[in-house]
Amino acid sequence: MKFSLASAQAGRRWSLWALLVALLVALLGLLVWLAGRYESSLVQNRLEHDAADAVIDIRSGLIRNIQTFQALPSSERMPESWHLSAAGLLRERREVVRLEWRNGAMEVLGFVDTPYRSAVFERLGRSSLEADVGLACTTAARLSGAAYSRSYFMPQFDGMGIEVLDMCLPIVVAGRLSGYTVVTYALQDILAELVGKQLVRGVGLSFTEADGTRLALHGAPSRGRQVYVAQQLLDLPGNTLVLRMESRLGTPALFPNVLTALVTAMALALLAVLFLLARDMRRRLKVEEDLGEALAFRKAMENSVLTGLRARDLQGRITYVNPAFCSMVGVEAKELLNQSLPSPYWPPELAGDYQQRQEIRLAGNTLPREGHESVFMRRDGTRFPVLIMEAPLINAVGKHTGWMSAILDVSERRRIEEVSRASQDRLQATARLAMVGEMASLLSHELNQPLAAISSYATGSLNLLQDALDSAGAPATAAHPEPHLSEELQLAMRRIAEQAERAGKVIKSVHDFVRRRDQVRETVAPRVLLDAVMPLVSLQARKLGVRLVIEVDPACAPVLCDPVMVEQVLLNLSRNGMQAMQGVDEAPGAQGASSRSAKVLTLRIRPAASNARSRWVEFAVSDCGEGISEQVARQLFTPFFTTKEEGMGLGLSLCRTVIEQHGGFLGYEAVQPRGTIFSFTLPVALRPNDLQEPGHGTD
């Protein structure tokens, strides 16, 4: 027995030593790896810094070239002198393969190719690339500075090719654009000539596109097992290139890091031995602490998660709910746990369907993991939609013990969907309004000619009647009518001409209203506006059996408005009021004279305030109809909403828009015992002596 106990203790001791050795080896390897990572990060940071310096060198070289090329056309104006100066510049700058002098029409006045290689455009010519050059020069003229085109590949006669790009520099003489200097760069020569030699030693430098396509390469990285890559953007006016720098290095030196790792590992080993010796005494405490932390973490998750969680056993009873679920349904957890069905958050009208659906689901071995939508009820009786996702609940030994559900309140998502649907409806209404505007413009254009013809015919008829009256010196016969009959015909023809002219003005005003042009405002007496529409209102009133009542306050001052549009508002409101009273005939007990007396349309004009110096005049149209219901009132001024079978739903909406453009307000209110009054306000035309009010001085 003692031997077996000693053997167990020895085995345990060797196990601890083996664990300690393994720990030391792991720590040593970790420190070595960390040292290598640190050195690799130093190499990467240095490469990033070099790439940034290379971009600065390239940008500085291009700026120096721009300054040199800017001095070229101003000092050498003749083509022969320009060729000599340009050739000298190309000998000094190997990165430039072609230099062109163009006039304002992009015609080439002169060009010089680099002496260090064959002509770049000798094989394909320059004409196929004029679009890119023209775009770069357009950008340069807009920026008043140099602009670069996108790079392109030019094949050569030796089977190779080079990637080039153009730089366009506007030539400005005495503040005017006189031409352009077009410079063609070779990307590979830019890398070779403009980047410092100390930066390209032992690295590969290349230009690439955004997707990684390599355009030009200079140099080659030294051999090594690890590749370090740094990329920098070369942002030029009109074009952006990616500068890529590559470096290959061998494995970093490890000897100093190994010594450091060994010392650190020995210190960690001592701490590990002390930890292992005290581990047995603190194991129980550690387990209890871990359990407490796990429980606290689980509790924190339960309290912070926004998704409702619910667990049920195989009989459908709830065994667990989190606070989010309780807050969602407004029921405490103790009222939900281990309670029989139906659940308190089921709507009573749907409890039977939910009971049957749950029995079907629980009868199966597995549930689909796709979510399904349902409706829950809060304690106050409000319903809200939810999304339920259920999955089998498996314990630690793999036994199926129930079902776990995740419940999401989707009422906010439904609200957002409704808002989106309403926005779509408003967009469709806006599109229809735009179409109505186009139709109004088309109709106004097409109706002007027949209205002009009607007015001309009426005027001609008046002239003929006047000639007949002038020649009617003889007694009246069948061929020559009585004078009073001719006067009535003249009055009718004048009314035809007036109404045709008024219709033309209405069409012009509607056309200007649709095109958003400035309306012509005139100073008009309120009674004049009413008198202009009274013939049409009276005609329809006689037709519909409506009695008109006119109430005009003589204290009303003239108003400033577009007379034609305001007259249309008055006419529209009057017609609506008369049509609203047509149901009076069908009312029980309404017959004969009493029915006609019930149809009264009142047109009232008065100052909008009680004092005589009111700045607004109120126009009101009152009827004795059935009134406006709450459902209709919510959409009364909405475009395309109408209660008439043949209506378009634009009348009241356009009326409100016209009044609001005048600075006034159009509204309505119920009239007792029944009926509706629509009223709107118009600004008073201020007289010169009204501009100075008491208490206000002048400059």
Average pLDDT of the residues in 367-376: 71
The answer to whether residue 619 scores a pLDDT higher than 90 is: yes
Angle subtended by helix axes 255-304 and 2-75, to nearest 10 = 100
The answer to whether residue 347 scores a pLDDT higher than 90 is: no
Helix (H, G, I), strand (E, B) or coil at 381: coil
Sorting pLDDT into bands at 50, 70 and 90, what band is 255? Answer: very low
pLDDT tens by residue, 146-199? 999 888 888 887 778 888 999 999 988 877 888 888 999 998 888 888 888 888
Pairing mode, strands 616-622 and 559-561:
unpaired
Higher-confidence residue of 206 and 503: namely: 206
Average pLDDT of the residues in 57-69: 89
User: Any alpha helices (H) in 471-611, and if so which ranges?
Assistant: 483-514, 526-544, 563-580, 592-598
Highest mean pLDDT among 84-98, 314-328, 367-381, 412-426: 84-98
* pLDDT value for 39: 72
Average pLDDT of the residues in 35-62: 84
Largest Cα–Cα separation, the chain:
162
Return the residue matching tokens 């602490």. Answer: 289
**Type and span of the H or E element at 171:** strand 161-173
Nearest partner of 320 among 305, 306, 302, judged by Cα: 302
> Please, what are the domains in the chain?
49-249 (3.30.450.20), 307-409 (3.30.450.20), 416-517 (1.10.287.130), 520-690 (3.30.565.10)
Nearest partner of 502 among 532, 525, 524, 528, judged by Cα: 532
Mean pLDDT of the chain: 76
Average pLDDT of the residues in 508-523: 63
DSSP string, 434-447: HHHHHHHHHHHHHH
The answer to whether residue 201 scores a pLDDT higher than 50 is: yes
Nearest partner of 36 among 225, 241, 290, 237, judged by Cα: 225
Return the residue matching tokens 């470096």. Answer: 247
Nearest partner of 104 among 78, 137, 76, judged by Cα: 137
Q: Which residues, in sequence order, are bridge partners of residue 169?
A: 181
Q: In this structure, how many other beta carbons lie within 10 angstroms of the beta carbon of residue 94?
A: 17
* pLDDT value for 72: 75
pLDDT tens by residue, 313-345? 877 788 888 888 888 888 887 778 877 777 788
The answer to whether residue 439 scores a pLDDT higher than 70 is: no
The C-alpha atoms of residue 57 and residue 64 are separated, in whole angstroms, by 11
pLDDT tens by residue, 597-613? 578 899 999 988 644 45
* pLDDT value for 183: 92
Q: What is the pTM of this model?
A: 0.38
